[in-house]
């Protein structure tokens, strides 16, 4: 993991993601692997997406979840390392890349009204559709997204 002042950034455009009813589904367009995260993991992904510094992620978790095991820091760090190892996020240096980050990340993060019990975040990895996803024309996307229609002449 990078220094505490650094941040993680979603490794776009190779990684696409969507949150559906509290579950974040992540697709690696290079490998064809897809992932699922819920609860604490989905919140951590959201914090990364909003630009929260790595050192702020654990305090956000402690603020939003009932934590009693004392192992929360280890669980969060293990999860962050898994995200990096899978190439889903990349470490960036605040000093060099401030233009890539949301300027007001704190304003974009909401606090839970009711804390739920902390369960260690799990990165569920699926490889069963790897061959289909790599061949699929979804890879041929531009800034307009997919699917895109060709302009009529």
Q: Closest Cα partner for 127 from 37, 36, 33? A: 33
**pTM for the full model?**
0.77
| pLDDT of amino acid 30 | 86
Beta bridge partner(s), residue 89: 10
Return the pLDDT at 128.
80
**Integer Cα distance of 30 and 48 in angstroms:** 21
Each residue's pLDDT expressed in tens, for the chain with a length of 153 residues: 444 448 899 999 989 999 999 899 999 988 889 999 999 999 999 999 998 899 999 999 999 999 887 899 999 999 999 999 999 999 987 665 555 555 566 666 777 778 889 999 999 999 887 666 665 555 555 555 554 455 555
Residues 90, 9: contact at Cβ < 8 Å? yes
Helix (H/G/I), strand (E/B), else coil: 16: strand
Q: Which residues on neighbouring strands pair with residue 38, listed in sequence order?
A: 23
């Amino acid at each position: 993991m990078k220094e505490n002042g650094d941040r993680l950034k979603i490794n776009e455009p190779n990684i696409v993601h969507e949150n559906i009813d509290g579950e974040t589904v992540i697709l690696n367009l290079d490998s064809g692997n897809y992932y699922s995260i819920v609860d604490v993991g989905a919140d951590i992904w959201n914090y990364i997406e909003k630009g929260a510094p790595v050192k702020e992620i654990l305090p956000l978790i402690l603020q939003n979840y009932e934590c009693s095991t004392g192992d929360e820091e280890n669980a969060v760090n293990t999860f962050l390392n898994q995200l990096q190892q899978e190439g889903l996020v990349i470490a960036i240096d605040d000093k060099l890349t401030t233009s890539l980050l949301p300027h007001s990340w704190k304003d974009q993060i909401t606090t839970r009204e009711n804390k739920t019990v902390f369960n260690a975040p799990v990165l569920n990895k699926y490889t069963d559709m790897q061959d289909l996803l790599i061949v699929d024309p979804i890879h041929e996307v531009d800034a307009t997204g997919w699917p895109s229609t060709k302009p009529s002449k």
